[in-house]
A and B are shown apart, each in its own frame.
Chain A
Amino acid sequence: MTNEHYLRVSYFVVALVSLGLGVAAYRVLRRPFTAICETLPGKSHLSTWKRTLAVSLTMAALLGFLSVSYRYCGKSYAEIVNDRSYLVQVNRNQIQATAESIVYAVFGWCLVIVIFLVIARKRRQSPGDLD
């Protein structure tokens, strides 16, 4: 496999892997997240929240992937393609950035869930006021 071929294949394979990591994170959190949303007042927003979780986690994964540039240190295209170890290193950096972005997004959602739980508790304490 030539370096040019490796560059093309690896770029799109790593993009798919990043997307897959985002989807996997969403699938792990989906069920408890849905159950928490069901305790909130206003059931009509349930699908909106679920979609927001899905979009935010997959977008975070893609953001991490896209945040890594091949043109670091002003390398030309020929220099980039000629250096196979540099191509592998960039692929690894892309996966690293993807994983870190997903962690940031998960922590963001943990904070959102704190707010949800406070609202749900208020609702339990005074059910008539918030419904």
Chain B
Amino acid sequence: MSPHFIVFLVSLVVAVVVLILTDRLLCPGLRGLLEDVTALPAATEFYIRAFGLAIVFIALAAVFGAHPDLKSDAHFMEYAWAVAAALQDVFQDLVIVLLVYVALITVLMASLRRKR
């Protein structure tokens, strides 16, 4: 197994754990907020699914975009640094996506709340 593949695999596993945690932490509250704002179950479902898609695809993009520079005789800590560099991209892109999503939900609330 090449060093690049090991780093890719470990980064992917950690990214999946981060995604599951993010989903578990944010989705219940987000669903309640969307149900309150949209009053349309389909719209709530759409935005929840869009959120899931966005975080999964952006994490996938970050993991695939990482290019660690490792030799086959690299030390353990060099692997750790390479994984950390890949995870930095994952977290950075996730934060950007979350901010964009918050902006979207703010626009949604401003558009729909006003009309009540």
Contact of A32 among B46, B97, B112 (CB under 8 A): B46
Digitize B1-36: 1 where CB-to-A-CB distance is under 8 Å, 0 elsewhere: 000100000000000000000000000000000000
Partner of A99, one of B64, B100, B115: B64
Contact B57 A117 (CB under 8 A): no
Q: Which residues of B contact A92 (CB under 8 A)?
A: 64-65, 67
**A110–B50 contact, CB under 8 A?**
yes
Q: Report yes or no: A114 in contact with B111, Cβ–Cβ below 8 A.
A: yes
Report whether B47 and A110 are in contact in the complex, using a CB–CB cutoff of 8 Å: yes
Given A29-B53, A32-B49, A117-B112, does the pair A99, B104 have CB atoms closer than 8 Å? no
The number of residues on chain A lying at the interface, defined by a beta carbon within 8 Å of a beta carbon of chain B, is 36
B97 and A103 contacting across the interface, CB-CB below 8 Å = yes
CB pair B42 A103 closer than 8 Å: no
Tell me how many residues of B have a C-beta within 8 Å of chain A: 31
A121 at interface, CB cutoff 8 A: yes
Which among B42, B65, B112 is the interface contact of A118 at CB below 8 angstroms? Answer: B112
A106 at the interface (CB under 8 A from B): yes
The stretch from A5-13, A33-41, A44-52, A75-83 touching chain B is A33-41
Closest B-chain residue to A98, C-beta based?
B61
Question: Total A-B residue pairs with C-beta atoms closer than 8 Å?
Answer: 98
A69 at the interface (CB under 8 A from B): no
Determine if B85 is an interface residue (Cβ-Cβ < 8 Å).
Answer: no
Contact with A along B81-113 (1 / 0, CB 8 A): 000000000000000010011001001100110
Chain A residue nearest to B115 in the complex (CB): A121
Q: Judging by beta carbons under 8 Å apart, are B111 and A118 in contact?
A: yes
CB contact between A95 and one of B43, B47, B60 (< 8 Å): that residue: B60
- B46 close to A36 (CB less than 8 A): yes
**Which chain A residues lie closer than 8 Å to B47 at the CB level?**
110, 113
- Within 8 Å by CB of A107, from B38, B60, B104, B112, lies B104
Please name 11 pairs of A and B residues whose Cβ atoms are closer than 8 Å in the assembled complex, sorted by A: A33-B42, A35-B42, A36-B43, A36-B46, A95-B61, A96-B62, A99-B64, A110-B47, A110-B50, A113-B43, A117-B38
Binding site for B on A (CB under 8 A): 21, 25, 28-29, 31-33, 35-36, 39, 85, 88-89, 92-93, 95-100, 102-103, 106-107, 109-111, 113-114, 117-118, 120-122, 125
